[in-house]
Chain A
Amino acid sequence: MTNIPAEYGLVLAALLFATGLVGVLARRNIIFILLSIEIMLNAAGLAFISAGSRWGQADGQVMFIFILVMAAAEVSVGLAIVLQLFHRLKTVNSDEANTMRG
């Protein structure tokens, strides 16, 4: 089994993170925003895994499990919010949910 260099994993993580960030900033659809946040979380997870395997430590994988659990919880709360939003405003466009404007 050939070793994949750690740099590859990190670069991939950075690319995934950038993709997710752009998705959060650019998309209006709140479900896509939620998906993009998931991508960013997984990018962070991938970075931990890569670093963990590079140093031969189990900590990276432990951290990834933490992130996985947190992402599951976050998605359940996030989807509940999305449902409430749609229920109240009949839209999934986040820009229209600007009733808190000062």
Chain B
Amino acid sequence: MELLWLIPALPLAGFVILALAGARMPRPLAASIGAGSVGLSALIAVVTAAAFFPDQRAHTQNLWKWIDAGGFSSDISLTLDALSVVMVLVITFVGFMIHLYATESMSGEKDGYSRFFAYMNLFVGSMLLLVLADNLLLLYLGWEGVGLCSYLLISFWYSDPANSRAAMKAFIVTRVGDAAMAVGLFILYKEFGTLRITEVMNMAAAQWSSGSTIAVAAAALLLGGAVGKSAQVPLHTWLPDAMAGPTPVSALIHAATMVTAGVYLIARMHILFTLAPQVRIAVAVVGATTLLLAGISALAQSDIKRALAYSTMSQIGYMFVALGVGAWTAAIFHFMVHAFFKALLFLSAGIVIDALHHERDMLRMGGLRHQLPLAFWCFLIGAASLSALPLISAGFYSKDLILWESLASANGSAWLWAAGMAGALCTSAYAFRMVFLIFYGKAQSEASYRIAVHSGLRTKAPLIILALLALLAGFLQTPESLGGISFFSAFISTALPSTPTIGTAMSEGTMQYLSGFLSLLGIFLAYIFFLYNPDYIRNFIRKPFGFALHCFLSSGWNVDRLYDILFVRPFIYAAQTNCRDIINLFFLLVALLHKGANRVLCASQSGLVRKYAFGIAAGAALILGVVALK
């Protein structure tokens, strides 16, 4: 327990060392510092979790006083409870797997090897600070640190302007949410005079009535922050573009850090959200909208990483639905399982991309399952888990929990459930569309023949471990009808309340049959349209309507263009107009005045001695005249 501070401190120390001396280090040393610091942190997290496990009491470690000025004080202090234990374990462990993988996959980079690991360490360190923070200010520090690192890593290959633009987009779009969140924190501080999370929650529960305006305002502003960071509608546009970074970065953003911060924030502040039912409903609606929008968009993507990005948005949408109906446990459970299979998917996609010399277009792949057996099996397991293949995949147990709670919970509704079910169909369809396009069928371009495989142990080990987890993590929590293991919910119940369920027309078992059937149906549809008879889709896209639909979906419902017209262009127009504005005219006038005065004085300096003499004489005459006439 006393080692708690080391968990975020080690990656941060790794960042400092690599940032200061990384450029002069030999690569193996930089790699071992980069991956080793996160690995050690994971080890300490396991030790700490083991120490936490027996009595399961929240433990706070006060490190030092951060700010103490004018009545405002804030500590650097860390808290460990069941929620942060889960988060810390997932972040450090999955983070370590990704670092390990990156030590090998990034070795082809000409420069920036140690820079990469410095940023990655800062990323993990900031995220750990975020989930361990005892007060909201420290949480916000980690929150902004995560945003900064996403900017730095998305533009890792900064020589291409498109990458820098994607990074700026990610930074600016999430900033919209962050600003809302900052205002939310101001409200909480003004009302309660403290930012310690436990105190804020206790005082909010004691002083604010359910549905009061101030509670709704505070919760809505925090939701704004969560929506921005977690790439939910309407602030979701940055995530597909964020794929400009290297693949391990995408894996880290999607699995362990960054996008799950919003889920964590809402789960952490769950008392506040319970006090604001309207906002809670908004959370669920945002989640349901996102999971449908992103799930359908993912069906039309040709870039392998963009498809995975939309899949992440969709899965985070499921977590938001769970948060919205008050199924806190289900959301965190799905977060954990999602971290495993999404990291697995990204890392095996990384192998495919590397093997095909940075080819990312799935339509130009095909038939790779014999050449890349490891990537194939890992991707298949990840896709199975993503599409919630019944019984054998972890994704089934976590997603099933969300679907069941969205219907059966006291706050649930049939609409949310229906959206979730439709999303489940989309999910398995797009997941196996990717599998079929990449690994089955005929090779679609010569890229598939020029395969360069050089995966060593540091690539293979993380994939195999993550694959096992993506299959087996589900058995921590199984439904009543399938053994009824409630290890996970029992563990997390010390930090998050469980949700009361009400009777429904459908039993949980029936619903499992239904969702299992939808999952298999999605796979079957993917098989029909993308492997058995791919010409049908190709012909459909050639028609005008089909082409328009394809463009609409593959651009993510044209939201980017909408925002471009609604926000970007008016802003640029306003900025351009503003540089000729009235305030500027005033300063131009000052400049003009000086220019005129300068011209007059220049004219007086004629260089003619006689004129100077005349000036002197006239001046003398004037003074004499004044004296004489006085």
Contact = CB atoms under 8 A, between A and B. Distances in A.
A76 B605 CA distance: 27
A98 B607 contact: yes
Contacts of A98: 606-608
Interface in A50-102: 94-95, 97-102
Contacts of A25: 610, 613-614, 617
Contact of B608 (A21, A26, A94): A94
Interface in A29-46: 30, 33
Contacts of A101: 605-607
11 contacts: A24-B610, A24-B613, A24-B617, A26-B610, A94-B608, A95-B608, A97-B609, A98-B606, A100-B605, A102-B603, A102-B607
Size bracket of the A interface:
10 to 19
A30 B608 CA distance: 11
A30 B601 CA distance: 25
A24 B603 CA distance: 21
Contacts of A102: 601-607
Nearest to B605: A102
B610 to A, nearest CB: 6
B609 A33 contact: yes
A26 B607 CA distance: 16
Interface of B: 601-610, 613-614, 617
B610 A95 contact: yes
Given A21-B617, A25-B617, A94 B609 contact: yes
B226 to A, nearest CB: 66
Nearest to B607: A98
Nearest 10 CB-CB pairings of A with B: A98-B607, A102-B605, A101-B607, A102-B602, A100-B607, A94-B609, A24-B613, A25-B614, A98-B608, A95-B608
A95 B605 CA distance: 13
Given A30-B609, A101-B606, 8 more contacts: A25-B613, A25-B614, A98-B608, A99-B607, A100-B607, A101-B605, A102-B603, A102-B604
Nearest to B609: A94
Contacts of B607: 97-102
A26 B610 CA distance: 8
Contacts of A26: 610
* Contact residues of B: prevailing secondary structure: helix
A28 B601 CA distance: 24
B616 to A, nearest CB: 10
Contacts of B614: 25
Nearest to B604: A102
A72 to B, nearest CB: 21
A94 B608 CA distance: 7
A26 B608 CA distance: 12
Nearest to B601: A102
A102 B605 CA distance: 5
A99 B607 CA distance: 6
A4 B392 CA distance: 138
Nearest to A22: B617
A63 B174 CA distance: 88
Contacts of B609: 30, 33, 94, 97
A21 to B, nearest CB: 6
Nearest to A26: B610
Contacts of A33: 609-610
A24 B605 CA distance: 18
B241 to A, nearest CB: 58
Most chain B C-beta atoms within 10 Å of own C-beta, residue among A25, A26, A102: A102
Nearest to A94: B609
Contacts of A30: 609
B2 to A, nearest CB: 78
Contacts of A28: 610
B293 to A, nearest CB: 70
A100 B614 CA distance: 17
Contacts of A97: 607, 609
Contacts of A24: 610, 613, 617
A32 B608 CA distance: 15
A60 B604 CA distance: 38
A69 B614 CA distance: 26
Contacts of A95: 608, 610
A64 B605 CA distance: 35
B453 to A, nearest CB: 78
Contacts of A21: 617
A60 to B, nearest CB: 20
Nearest to B606: A101
